[in-house]
Amino acid sequence: MHNAAFTALGLDARYEARDVAPADLERVVNSLRGEAILGANVTVPYKLAVMPFVDELTPAATAMGAVNTIITKGAKLTGHNTDAAGFTRALQEAGVTLKNKRVVMLGAGGAARAVAYALLQAGSSLYIYNRSPEKAVALAKDFAAYGTINILTVELAAGELAAAVRDCDVLVNTTSVGMEHGGLDPNTSPLPQGVLPARGFVSDIIYRPAKTKLLREAEAAGLRVQNGLPMLVYQGAESFECWTRQAPDTDVMLAAARALL
Ligand code: NAP
């Protein structure tokens, strides 16, 4: 999608994927210095590991505790994070307002940290449910400065989780449950059978398959839904703008991403 956007803007630049071994990480990050490079994206499992190898962090990267974008300015590398901005823009595009809304977020992994930051910055009251409760507790502690986070513990009676989900305005899945990747079973949902919000909006940040089991069930129940493709495109567009100081055509990026997926 980045190459399609470079072409659309007539920019002489190229985006390449690199498979990096853990032992090579510092060397590869250092190789991003210099006039010929605009920067890089960083993905799982290196979003935390690259942090010591850049020269400075933006407030967003510091707050989320992860870097998904490196911006090169000559010899200097800045670590940034565009995941939260991408998520916020995706929900805005769907006409979802987050201020004072009750949001249940499923998951407490890397992506959940960006989504939690976006939701708290937007003024939502946040409820988190995660399979490993200690990760939800750690996330709530790390983000305490940005708002109040309520933890829906796994010890909850099934009825209590169902009630919290039923009463929310927005449900966001940030777990990898339902994703089509490797040996994962795409026909699974992060929620027990029959547990859905009574009204409102369901966002699943998974983009493969285009409709997870959760989204199919939510749609069948008459709820509005969004998959993870808009977030993917908009976090990419934010990175693109950091590197080039030009706004890419997000329709071009979306079409290119859709064609590949
Ligand atoms: P991660 O750090 O590995 O976190 C995975 C999360 O899923 C954790 O909360 C984990 O719970 C939970 N989980 C995994 N298997 C589970 C199971 N069988 N039952 C219940 N919970 C389970 O991964 P991530 O980087 O956050 O990515 C999560 C998903 O977000 C992926 O599908 C990824 O593709 C998607 N994503 C999308 C975008 C986008 O732009 N749309 C951006 C980033 C990520 P535990 O803590 O209990 O292990």
In this prediction, residue 156 carries a pLDDT of 62
Interval 42-69: pLDDT, tens: 998 999 999 999 999 999 999 999 999 9
Cα 103 to ligand 1 centroid, rounded to whole Å: 18
Work out which ligand 1 atom sits closest to the CA atom of 229. Answer: 41
Average pLDDT rounded to a whole number, residues 133-160? 85
φ, ψ of residue 197 in degrees (nearest 5): -65, 155
- Protein residue with its CA nearest to atom 40 in ligand 1: 232
- Report the distance separating Cα 19 and Cα 6, nearest Å: 22
- Protein residue with its CA nearest to atom 13 in ligand 1: 175
* Direct distance between the N- and C-terminal alpha carbons of the chain, in angstroms, rounded to an integer: 11
Query: For residue 80, what are the contacts with CB-CB under 8 A and spacing of at least 6?
Result: 57, 58, 60, 61, 67, 68, 69, 70, 71, 239, 242
Residue 160 has pLDDT above 80, yes or no: no
- Lowest-confidence pick of 8-22, 145-159, 210-224: 145-159
Average pLDDT rounded to a whole number, residues 235-259? 98
Query: For residue 72, what are the contacts with CB-CB under 8 A and spacing of at least 6?
Result: 32, 33, 34, 37, 38, 39, 40, 243
Nearest to 91 by CA among 168, 150, 172: 172
Residue 148 has pLDDT above 90, yes or no: no
Residue 173 has pLDDT above 90, yes or no: yes
- Report the distance separating Cα 162 and Cα 260, nearest Å: 36
In this prediction, residue 42 carries a pLDDT of 97
In this prediction, residue 158 carries a pLDDT of 62
Cα 107 to ligand 1 centroid, rounded to whole Å: 6
Q: Strand 170-173 and strand 102-106: pairing?
A: parallel
pLDDT band at 157 (very low <50, low <70, confident <90, very high): low
In this prediction, residue 241 carries a pLDDT of 98
Nearest to 191 by CA among 151, 163, 227, 210: 163
- Report the distance separating Cα 80 and Cα 41, nearest Å: 9
Residue 164's CB is within 10 A of a number of other CB atoms, namely 19
In this prediction, residue 35 carries a pLDDT of 95
The helices-and-strands tally (H runs, E runs) of the chain is 10, 10
Residue 183 has pLDDT above 90, yes or no: no
135 counts as catalytic: no
Model pTM? 0.95
Interval 190-244: pLDDT, tens: 999 899 999 999 999 999 999 999 999 999 999 999 999 999 999 999 999 999 9
Average pLDDT rounded to a whole number, residues 61-88? 97
Does the CB atom of residue 84 touch ligand 1 within 6 A?
no
In this prediction, residue 182 carries a pLDDT of 79
